[in-house]
Amino acid sequence: MNLSTFTKADDDAWQLEKSLSAVASAIADPSRVSILCALMDGRAWTATELSSSANIAASTASAHLSKLLQNELITCLSQGRYRYYRLAGSHIAHLLETLMGVSMKPSRLPVTRTPAHLRVARTCYDHLAGKVAVRIYDFMLEEGWIEPDGSKLTPAGKLHFQNMGVITNPHTRRKSRCACLDWSERRFHVGGDAGAALLIFFEQKEWLSRVPGYREVIITEAGKKAFSHVFRVDFDW
């Protein structure tokens, strides 16, 4: 390229390509993928916990964490003498969910390899995913709680949330989009601030419980009745 014709747009494009390549490189390692997947439960983990989860040495985990931090895929929080790591935000979780869906895309009819208990219910960073979450999204769409394009809650949806006692954050800076692609079901579940608010509500009502340190979610008997009554979720699967 002639340097005299090198414009700011060319520089911006080059910087974008360089940054994209760096992020792709940061993810392109099985151990780092294991670390990122562990952090998908939305909690903060120590380096020791992550090294055990990824089945690698502590020194190796430290190098991987440095690369993930460098590329802003994770953040580090210091509390006392401990350092905790977590995903940099819901946008990183959404990226990972999308990549999972792409990587498991079959050449023929869909046959998911996701463990059965995770297909039913699991966390997707700070909201619920799996069959239950997909059915809740379908219900909300059918009842007009969500805009047809999945972009946000409708006024009716906001009113239903309010009447149920589901509290959303009116000052959130995250994207309000409700539709989040579920990589095991290949359909949408409720994400964004609405999905995060629902998960908090479900936990408070004890309709479900989270397995510490894992993405697995257990639907309680009371939860099955409530999900069936409120969202018409059929647990006969």
161-208: per-residue pLDDT in tens?
Answer: 999 999 988 777 766 678 888 878 878 899 989 999 999 999 999 999
Give the model's pLDDT for residue 129.
Answer: 92
How does pLDDT run across 106-141, given as a tens digit for each residue?
Answer: 544 444 555 677 889 999 889 999 999 999 999 999
Find which of 1-5, 162-166, 232-236 is predicted with most confidence, using mean pLDDT.
162-166
| Tally of residues, the chain | 237
DSSP of 22-56: HHHHHH-SHHHHHHHHHGGGS--EEHHHHHHHHT-
> CA–CA separation, 95 vs 101, rounded Å?
10
pLDDT of residue 178: 85
Token pair of 126 as six digits? 């700070």
State the pTM of this model.
0.65
User: Which pair of structure tokens corresponds to residue 181?
Assistant: 């692609």
Asked if 208 contacts 121 with a C-beta cutoff of 8 angstroms, the reply is yes
Amino acid 18: pLDDT: 84
Dihedral sign (CA 14, 99, 47, 82): positive
Domains (range + CATH), the chain: 14-88 (1.10.10.10), 107-231 (no CATH)
Q: Residues 167, 81: contact at Cβ < 8 Å?
A: no
| Residue 6 pLDDT | 57
Residue 90 has pLDDT above 50, yes or no: yes
Task: Write down the pLDDT at residue 95.
Answer: 86
Residue 236 has pLDDT above 60, yes or no: yes
